[in-house]
Amino acid sequence: MTRLLRRFVLVPLCVLLLAPAAPAAESQPESGKTSGQDTYNQQEMLHEANQFFGQGAEGLAKVIEKAFKEKGRPNGYITGEEAGGAIGIGLRYGKGTLHLKDGAHRKIYWQGPSIGFDFGGNASKVFVLVYHLPDVRAIFQRFPGVEGSLYFIAGVGVNYVQSGDIVLAPIRLGVGWRQGASVGYMHVTRKKSWNPF
């Protein structure tokens, strides 16, 4: 009985100990994950923005330079379009594609209210610098406007909206006084919604 027990316990144990160690499985990041090194430099973002808006958008280089100086290097960007209207209280609706440095991308939608001294309507292209986004899923939330973060240079406007560490910097071209006079938030969703809240 003892001999039989040794055979069933010791032999498999020796085989396990003497077998070559299996190579450690490489950890693959979850789809959409980014590391600290996965960021865009200023020239890359200026190139993408020029491609999106069209070459020669006056003021674009200065706005992007300002964003880099204040917020550093983004790890993603959004290309999209939006439409909105206001009579004091306004609404914005947009859609676009989120691009991350690691190659992940996803279709997204956003909407939100605005309050200010603005009247009328507008439709514009929007290029959004995205900072500190840990993964694609983290984009789906509300991003309130940051007070005093609005800049307007030669027809190009940029402001910051932020939730926790994640910062979005929407850059809009040729949106005039409406952009310069309103504040609100940006609610990013997976599906199109008419509910601005």
In a domain, 14, yes or no: no
In a domain, 32, yes or no: no
Nearest to 126 by CA among 102, 105, 95, 104: 95
Total domains present in the chain: 1
In a domain, 3, yes or no: no
pLDDT at 32 over 50: no
Q: Which CATH number belongs to the domain containing residue 74 in this structure?
A: 2.40.128.480
In a domain, 185, yes or no: yes
pLDDT at 155 over 60: yes
In a domain, 164, yes or no: yes
* pLDDT tens-digit series, residues 85-101: 766 677 889 999 999 99
Range of the domain at 87: 42-189
In a domain, 9, yes or no: no
pTM for the model = 0.74
In a domain, 135, yes or no: yes
Categorize the per-residue pLDDT at 35 as very low, low, confident or very high, splitting at 50, 70 and 90. very low
DSSP strands (E only) in 58-150: 76-100, 105-131, 142-144
34 or 143: which leads in pLDDT: 143
- pLDDT for position 148: 62
Name the residue with tokens 């071209």: 173
pLDDT at 48 over 90: yes
In a domain, 155, yes or no: yes
DSSP strands (E only) in the chain: 76-100, 105-131, 142-144, 151-153, 156-158, 161-163, 166-173, 182-189
- pLDDT for position 107: 97
